[in-house]
Protein backbone atom coordinates (compact mmCIF):
# COMPACT_ATOMS: atom_id res chain seq x y z
CA UNK A 1 0.00 0.00 0.00
CA UNK A 2 1.50 3.34 -1.03
CA UNK A 3 0.18 6.60 0.40
CA UNK A 4 0.41 9.81 -1.62
CA UNK A 5 0.21 13.37 -0.37
CA UNK A 6 -2.84 15.48 -1.15
CA UNK A 7 -3.61 19.09 -0.33
CA UNK A 8 -6.85 19.60 1.56
CA UNK A 9 -9.36 22.11 0.29
CA UNK A 10 -9.93 25.15 2.48
CA UNK A 11 -12.90 24.57 4.76
CA UNK A 12 -14.99 27.19 6.51
CA UNK A 13 -16.47 26.17 9.84
CA UNK A 14 -18.63 27.94 12.38
CA UNK A 15 -17.42 28.13 15.97
CA UNK A 16 -17.98 29.91 19.23
CA UNK A 17 -15.82 30.17 22.31
CA UNK A 18 -17.10 28.92 25.66
CA UNK A 19 -17.23 31.75 28.20
CA UNK A 20 -18.08 31.92 31.91
CA UNK A 21 -21.61 32.89 30.81
CA UNK A 22 -22.19 29.42 29.33
CA UNK A 23 -23.52 26.52 31.37
CA UNK A 24 -21.97 23.24 30.18
CA UNK A 25 -23.20 19.89 31.48
CA UNK A 26 -22.60 16.28 30.55
CA UNK A 27 -25.54 14.32 29.20
CA UNK A 28 -27.00 11.70 31.52
CA UNK A 29 -27.38 9.34 28.54
CA UNK A 30 -23.99 9.56 26.79
CA UNK A 31 -20.61 10.32 28.39
CA UNK A 32 -19.39 12.00 25.16
CA UNK A 33 -22.42 14.27 24.73
CA UNK A 34 -22.56 17.69 26.39
CA UNK A 35 -25.27 20.31 26.61
CA UNK A 36 -24.57 24.04 26.58
CA UNK A 37 -26.75 27.07 27.19
CA UNK A 38 -26.03 30.79 27.26
CA UNK A 39 -27.00 32.25 30.64
CA UNK A 40 -27.32 35.73 29.07
CA UNK A 41 -29.68 34.57 26.34
CA UNK A 42 -31.83 31.69 27.52
CA UNK A 43 -34.12 32.18 24.50
CA UNK A 44 -31.39 30.54 22.38
CA UNK A 45 -32.24 27.24 24.08
CA UNK A 46 -29.85 24.40 24.76
CA UNK A 47 -27.33 23.12 22.23
CA UNK A 48 -25.49 19.82 22.23
CA UNK A 49 -21.99 18.88 21.13
CA UNK A 50 -19.60 15.93 21.24
CA UNK A 51 -16.51 15.93 23.45
CA UNK A 52 -14.06 13.27 24.56
CA UNK A 53 -12.65 15.45 27.33
CA UNK A 54 -14.16 17.90 29.79
CA UNK A 55 -14.80 21.24 28.05
CA UNK A 56 -13.37 24.33 29.77
CA UNK A 57 -13.94 28.06 29.56
CA UNK A 58 -11.89 29.34 26.62
CA UNK A 59 -12.38 26.16 24.56
CA UNK A 60 -14.44 26.15 21.38
CA UNK A 61 -17.51 24.41 19.96
CA UNK A 62 -17.02 23.91 16.21
CA UNK A 63 -19.56 22.98 13.56
CA UNK A 64 -18.67 21.97 10.03
CA UNK A 65 -20.97 21.90 7.03
CA UNK A 66 -21.70 18.17 7.35
CA UNK A 67 -20.65 17.53 10.95
CA UNK A 68 -22.29 17.64 14.33
CA UNK A 69 -20.91 20.27 16.70
CA UNK A 70 -17.81 19.11 18.54
CA UNK A 71 -15.46 20.38 21.27
CA UNK A 72 -11.99 21.70 20.49
CA UNK A 73 -9.49 22.92 23.07
CA UNK A 74 -8.34 26.52 22.67
CA UNK A 75 -4.77 25.38 21.95
CA UNK A 76 -5.84 22.99 19.19
CA UNK A 77 -8.31 25.49 17.73
CA UNK A 78 -5.68 28.23 17.48
CA UNK A 79 -3.23 25.82 15.77
CA UNK A 80 -5.77 24.88 13.10
CA UNK A 81 -7.86 28.01 12.54
CA UNK A 82 -7.23 31.68 11.92
CA UNK A 83 -8.50 33.46 15.02
CA UNK A 84 -8.97 37.23 14.71
pTM of the model as a whole? 0.80
Judging by beta carbons within 10 Å of its beta carbon (0-12, 13-18, 19+), is residue 75 exposed, middle or buried?
A: exposed
Q: Residue ranges per domain, the chain?
A: 15-80
Tens-place pLDDT, residues 39-52: 777 666 678 999 99
Tens-place pLDDT, residues 15-68: 989 999 999 999 888 999 999 988 777 666 678 999 999 999 999 999 987 888
Determine the Cα–Cα distance for residues 28 and 16; give it in Å rounded to an integer.
Answer: 24
- Angstrom CA distances, 76 to 18, 40, 80, stand at 14, 27, 6
Amino acid sequence: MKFRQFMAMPVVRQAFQITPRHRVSQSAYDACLYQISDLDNLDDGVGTFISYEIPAVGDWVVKGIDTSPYHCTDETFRKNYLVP
